[in-house]
Amino acid sequence: MQLYNNLSNKERAELIEKAGKERLTISFYKYAKIGNTQIFRNHMFLAWDQQDVLGRIYVAKEGINAQLSVPAENFETFKKHLDTISFLENVRLNIAVEHDNFAFLKLKVKVRNKIVADGLEDETFDVTNKGIHVGAEQFNELIEDKNTVLVDMRNHYESEIGHFKNAVTPDVDTFRESLDLIEEDLRAHKEDKKLVMYCTGGIRCEKASAYYKHKGFKNVYQLEGGIINYVRQINEKGLENKFLGKNFVFDERRSERISEDVIANCHQCGKPADLHTNCANEACHLLFIQCNECKEQMENCCSANCMEINKLPYEEQKALRKGQGNSNDIFKKGRANHLPFKKDLRNIFESQSK
């Protein structure tokens, strides 16, 4: 009985290309109390492996978070299986704006302590006591209200390439950082302001909405289904799009274009650009924004030093990396000091939060 992926990325890519079938990029999450996470994890892997589902899935006692690539012809079978699980019946599936057959190349189902790391140890915090979910139409109305504070619950490198108009975009590297930062800045407005939050697919702002209710905020809202579902709704209903730029996604695509606005800049030359690149140097892998001209000139690298290393034979590169561990730059997400045009972010809330 196979319970883990046993194919390499290259082998899987070749199979996908040979099959020549359309695949759908889908994400969903659900906060729920799961007893035996390992048994649940194995059950999901076995069912999805048979359906040729690929992706990255986290299972924890607080629920499930899944980002998947599903063969279009198997979608109904996939959905019917979800509906056999009580807490996943009729779960909202966020279908990507843009599809890529190679968005995921393996099926990875992992057991984690939490599906969204929050650093919280408060046993009285109930993650299921969430805020009010709103669709795209009500969301558009809410964010025009002068008593609303709109907060982006994503990290700095996500909001840098795209965010809603007039949104507060905290300068944070992790979700956990944003929880305390937002509470501190809005402490005086727990009763008189409407706190409206959004994220990529809804999972982070749903936990955040429960957290802020737990902390005494009276009017807490979240964009249901996040940016992904918002785009689907505005397209279906002909609503005004209030999102600028691109939506960062956590698969091989890295982003989906929502509007034609380019609100970011190349971290190397400063030209308007919003395409993230992972430095080609295996010892670096810094995630940063790079325009096409710099990509060609710098050979997908973030610095001249990384270019030189990347040109070395593989065995020499491997020898250089031996015992070194990851470069600290891998965790900086575009903040590395050698990037001359990295965005200068500050922990400042816009005037609408005052």
306 assigned to active site: no
Token digits of residue 58: 């986290």
Q: Which of 199, 205, 284, 302 is catalytic?
A: 199
Residue 239 per-residue DSSP state: P
Q: How far apart are CA 238 and CA 15, in angstroms?
A: 39
Residue 54 has, within 13 A of its CA and on its CB side, a CA count of 23
Paired strand residues for 222: 133, 197
Q: How far apart are CA 286 and CA 65, in angstroms?
A: 25
Opening angle at CA 93, ends 91 and 96, nearest 5: 170
Q: How far apart are CA 204 and CA 81, in angstroms?
A: 25
Instruction: Determine what percent of the chain falls in helix, strand and coil, rounding each to the nearest 5.
Output: 35, 20, 45
Tell me the catalytic residues.
199
